[in-house]
Amino acid sequence: MSIPAEPDLFARERAVLDHALRAHADPSPAVIHHALGELISEYERVIRDMRRVISHSDRTELELNIANQRLRELTEALSYQNRHDGLTRLLNRNSLIHEAETLLRQQAIALILLDIDHFKQINDRYGHPTGDKVLTALAAAMQDTIGQAGHCGRLGGEEFGVVLATDRLDTAEHAAKQLSERIRQIRLTEEIGLRVTASLSVAVAESGVPFDILYQCTDDGLYRAKHSGRDRIETIADRLTP
């Protein structure tokens, strides 16, 4: 008489983990978001059932602890991927907008938009790998300059944004000037002749202003900066009000 196989107490966890591991290697935000939701739900279920499950044996407790740790680590990794740009590690577009909208419900904010000057020419002349290095170097410059004073994100391509929790236009202008100067200092050792500059725009909005209005206003300023010689800052002097 054959002995029946012991039931796999962790079949469900393993299936979710396998899905999460596949999603971890997939750059698609939709895939990552779906897997993240599965992981969070499974993690909550594991916590609820822990006392009941670990009563089976010491081995079961050890396996549960391992599965629980893997769930937690993958949840954190996928959550990070879901919020950050894959190349620069700055906040992605959706996450930066979310931070701005959250702040705007409570207080005034400043928005800085910047666009790398002649980025297409950099890619065409030096190649896309060098273009990627410029993007990552600019992201590092943003983090060094802004630090914990605001949220930095990549909005797409060579366009980036900074959200500052301030109602002072002069504070935002000062940050933009520091950032512009820091970008001019970017050097790539393998491309001696390469110089990087950016066009920037700055605007301030009071609490209650929709973010898309603030963004459009600041983006119009960025357009003027780029078509007025580049490597300059356009300031929107009038504060946006609801």
221 neighbors 137 (Cβ within 8 angstroms): no
Domain co-membership, 188 together with 210: yes
- 8-state DSSP, 4: P
pLDDT of residue 139: 97
Q: Does the active-site annotation cover 206?
A: no
Domain co-membership, 159 together with 220: yes
Which residues are registered as beta bridge partners of 161?
113, 153
**Tens-of-pLDDT digits for all 242 residues of the chain?**
455 555 555 666 667 667 666 766 665 666 677 777 777 776 667 666 665 655 555 556 677 677 778 778 877 777 777 888 989 999 999 999 999 999 999 999 999 999 999 999 999 999 999 999 999 999 999 999 999 999 999 999 999 999 999 999 999 999 999 999 999 999 998 888 899 999 999 999 999 999 999 999 999 999 999 999 999 999 999 999 99
Final residue before a domain boundary, out of 83, 116, 143: 83
Domain co-membership, 28 together with 76: yes
Which tokens sit at 210?
């929709």
Domain co-membership, 107 together with 24: no
Q: Between helices 58-83 and 11-24, what is the axis angle to 10°?
A: 30
Q: Is 16 exposed, middle or buried (0-12, 13-18, 19+ CB in 10 A)?
A: buried
Final residue before a domain boundary, out of 50, 83, 116: 83
For residue 1, is it within any domain?
no
Domain co-membership, 97 together with 117: yes
For residue 3, is it within any domain?
no
Tell me whether strands 233-235 and 198-205 are parallel, antiparallel or unpaired: parallel
Number of H helices, E strands in the chain: 8, 5
Domain co-membership, 98 together with 214: yes
Final residue before a domain boundary, out of 27, 61, 83: 83
CA separation, residue 142 to residues 20, 129, 157, 182 (Å): 31, 20, 16, 8
Domain co-membership, 98 together with 75: no
State the residue range of the domain holding 70.
11-83
What distance in Å separates the CA atoms of residue 148 and residue 145, rounded to the nearest whole number? 9
Domain co-membership, 224 together with 140: yes
For residue 4, is it within any domain?
no
For residue 88, is it within any domain?
no
Cα dihedral 122, 124, 126, 130 sign: positive
CA separation, residue 211 to residues 46, 64, 99, 109, 206 (Å): 39, 45, 10, 10, 10
Domain co-membership, 113 together with 203: yes
What distance in Å separates the CA atoms of residue 162 and residue 172, rounded to the nearest whole number? 10
Residue tagged active-site, from 13, 42, 99, 158: 158
71 neighbors 15 (Cβ within 8 angstroms): no
pLDDT of residue 5: 54
Tokens 């963004």 map to which residue?
215
pLDDT of residue 6: 56
CATH number for 184: 3.30.70.270
